[in-house]
Every structure is written in C-alpha cells, then in structure tokens.
Amino acid sequence: MFKKIKLFWQTIRRLSGDDAYEQYLLHFAHHQTEHAHAEPLSQEEFFKQWQDKKWKGVKRCC
C-alpha cells in the first residue's frame, strides 16, 4: 500500500514537472562523457530554461 502511494506521488511529481530538475541531473550524470568538463545548471537556471521551452509552440487546445 505504502509502495503504491509512493508510486502515485512520483507519477504526480513527474506529470507536473515537479521533479524535472532531478530528472535533468540524472540525465546529465548518465551522459557525463558528452559534457566532459561541463557543470550541471543550477536548479534556478534549469527551471528558467525548462519553463521557457515548455511554452514554445502549440501546447494547449480548445
């Protein structure tokens, strides 16, 4: 039961983008070789880019 609640909460976080930064860090660590000397963005900086990108193009419908 506890596991299910946790899973549900994770899904909500993923859906809303609440964990987008954590996902980004994971992705960054995973592809470390590509960014040999780069540092990951700060949470603030990442969120800015993520939010601005999210709103380019058709994202909402009638």
Partner 1 sequence: MHKNLKIIIWVAVALLGATAISAIALNRGESISAMWFIAAAACVYAIAYRFYAAWIAASVLVIDETRATPAERLDNGRDFIPTNKWVVFGHHFAAIAGPGPLVGPTLAAQFGYLPGTLWILIGAVLGGAVQDMVTLFFSTRRNARSLGQMARDEIGPIGGAAALIGTFLIMIILIAVLGLVVVNAMKHSPWATSTVAATIPIAMLVGFYMRNFRPGRVLEASSLGVVLLLLAVVGGGWIDHQPSLRGLFDHEGLTLAWVIIGYGFAAAVMPVWLLLAPRDYLSTFVKLGTVTLLAIAIIVLQPHVHMPALTQFTDGSGPIFGGKLFPFVFITIACGAISGFHALIASGTTPKLLGNERDIRMIGYGAMLLESFVAIMAMIAATVLEPGVFFAINSPAGVVGKEAVDAIAKINSWGFAVSVEQMSQLAKDMGESSLFARTGGAPSLAVGMASIFGSAFGKGMLALWYHFAIMFEAIFILTTLDAGTRVGRFMLQDMLGNIWPKIGQTSWMPSVIFTSALVVAGWGYFLYIGVIDPNGGVNILWPLFGIANQMLAAIALCVATGILVKSGKLKYAWITGLPLVWLVIVTSTAAWQKIFSEDIRVGFLAAANDLAAKLATGVLPPEKALVAPQLIFNQQLDAYLTIFFVVVLWVVIIDTFRLIGSYLAGKPLLPITEVAHEPSRLVENWVRD
Q: Which of 5, 36, 38, 58 binds partner 1 (CB under 8 A)?
A: 58
Asked if 21 and 41 count as a contact pair (C-beta separation under 8 A), the reply is no
User: What whole-number distance in Å separates Cα of residue 33 and Cα of residue 20?
Assistant: 21
50 near partner 1, judged by CB under 8 A: yes
Binding mask 3-42 for partner 1 (x = CB under 8 A): -------xxxxxxxxx-xx-xx--xx--x-----------
Question: Which pair of structure tokens corresponds to residue 44?
Answer: 């603030």
Helix H segments across 1-62? Answer: 2-16, 20-30, 43-54
Binding site for partner 1 (CB under 8 A): 10-18, 20-21, 23-24, 27-28, 31, 43-44, 46-62
